[in-house]
Amino acid sequence: MVERKLSLASCIEIALQNATSAKKANYALKLQGADVLKSYGNFLPKVSFSTSFTPYSLSQSYTQYYLNTPPFKIKSESESVTMTLTSSLNLFNGFSDYASLQAALDKKDAADFNLSRALQTITYDVTQYYYQVLLNRELLESARENLLSVKDHLTLTDRQFQIGLKSMTDRYQQQAAVAESRLSVIQAETRFQKSLLELLRRLHIDPLTKITLEPAPNERIEPLESTPDINNLVNVALEKRSDLKSKALETKAAQWQITQARSTWYPHLDLNVNASTGGTDYLRQTLGESVAEYSYPPLSDQLRNSIGYSVGLSLNWSIFDGFQTRYAVESAKINHINQKFDYEDLKNNIVIDLQQAAQDYASAVMQIENAKVNLTASSSAFSDIKRKYELGAAGFVELSTARASLFNARSNLSQATYNLALQKSVLDFTTGIIPVP
């Protein structure tokens, strides 16, 4: 089994390389780039070339030269080649090409911002589960330490029972405490393994890979120097959020699509240029019993000297198309309106999410301070009760209660510490400034 030791930065790097959402966003960006190139191509002339080679052609017919003579059968045999070069340039099509190009440019920029947001989402998701694994690992270690402590007390209780300082009831209660602590270790182990598998799922690596995680960077689990200013966060988010920029560009592209849909109402003017040439290698005609063969110049000379040109303008104007254009315009308008609704909804949701994230972060800061105070108090109380229990001045219930309070205080501090890191990531992700390697 492969074993790897990973840091938060390496986990994010692996996920960014393997995540299918990032690959899909990147392919979408490439497709939009091709769409932009196609839109530029609409301004260039279309050129096509065709050629045909007939190695043998046979035609037979009857003709009558004189009124009183029977008709003659004419058989013609030939070999020929033709070449045609055609070019067409659109001069005006109701601004459809221009609108299509502008819409394609906006969509390409939107796809670029979508890719950026997809990378931020992957970074945020991996960070969340990385911290969750670290938290569950710390809770597992705390549960194991608690189990060792309870086992030590069971050993002490057995010795005190043997010399008559503890009753059989105290011994049974301590054994029950060991069993309960052992169950807590099993549950903590299950939570740890489950979170580790979820992290592996997001890394998109071999699920059988055994990984160990390095501790989280200190700057991610330390409180910010000052309380976040919600107004400043909103201003930063409206400026930095890639998905909001993408939605604004998609709305702008939808507006250009209205112009593109209206183009059918206008006439379309095209410039057409054609050049063609051809030649016959031989021509043999049979008239009755007489055979005539015509001598032609070399085929290369015929192709060079038989070139013909034509230049023309074509105007097409759809007078009535059964309201198809009207439907297309209305559909484009509604799509533009829906895009505007989505943009405003996203903008409002960002403000609401930031307010919630700021409140959650402030709560996490208070939670970690309270957890530190609670741990200090619980540690002091447990030490006192432990000494009294060992001297026989305190009962098992008091010891068990103090031990449970200390275990909960340690767990709460661990949860508060990583919850602060999680809330800091939520704040960065919601603001749109989460760092992407």
Note the pLDDT tens digit of each residue in 75-102.
888 888 999 999 999 999 999 999 999 9
Return all residues near 377 (Cβ < 8 A) that are at least 6 apart. Answer: 409
pLDDT of 165: 65
Domain of 66, in residue numbers:
46-92+269-316
Backbone angles phi, psi at 140, to 5 degrees: -65, -45
- Residue 103, both tokens: 């819409």
Burial 6-23 (b: 16+ CB within 10 A, else e): bebebbbbbbbeebeebe
Mean pLDDT of 228-246: 92
Last residue of a domain, one of 259, 292, 316: 316
Tens of pLDDT along 186-236? 999 999 999 999 999 999 988 888 888 888 766 555 666 557 788 999 999
Q: Which two tokens stand for residue 86?
A: 């055609």
Under 8 Å between Cβ of 129 and 195? yes
How far, in Å, CA of 333 to CA of 110, rounded?
19
Q: What is the reported pLDDT for 114?
A: 95
pLDDT digits (tens, 9 = 90+) for 379-436: 888 788 878 777 777 766 676 777 778 777 887 888 888 888 888 899 999 999 988 8
Decide: pTM greater than 0.85: no
- Pick the range with the lowest mean pLDDT from 167-171, 273-277, 332-336: 167-171
Claim to verify: residue 382 and residue 287 sit in the same structural domain: no
One domain, residues 104 and 115: yes
Residues 131 and 209 in one domain: yes
Q: What percent of the chain has pLDDT over 70?
A: 93
Residue 28, domain member (yes or no): yes
* 248-263 residue pLDDT tens: 999 999 999 999 999 9
How many structural domains compose the chain?
A: 2
Q: Report in angstroms the alpha-carbon separations of 276 from 269, 272, 283.
A: 23, 13, 21
Is 279 within 8 Å of 308 (Cβ atoms)?
Answer: no
Residue 179 lies in a domain: no
Rounded to the nearest 5 percent, the helix, strand and coil shares of the chain are: 65, 20, 15
Residue 353 forms part of a structural domain: yes
Give yes or no: residues 122 and 34 share one domain: yes
Say whether both 263 and 377 belong to one domain.
Answer: yes
Average pLDDT, the chain: 87
Say which residue, 120 or 175, is predicted with more confidence. 120
Most confident range, picked from 68-72, 215-219, 374-378, 400-404 = 374-378
- Asked whether residue 274 falls in the same domain as residue 394, the answer is no
Q: Say if 173 falls within a structural domain.
A: no
273/373 same-domain check: no
**Cα–Cα distance measured from residue 351 to residue 373, given in angstroms and rounded to the nearest whole number:** 34
pLDDT score at 28: 94
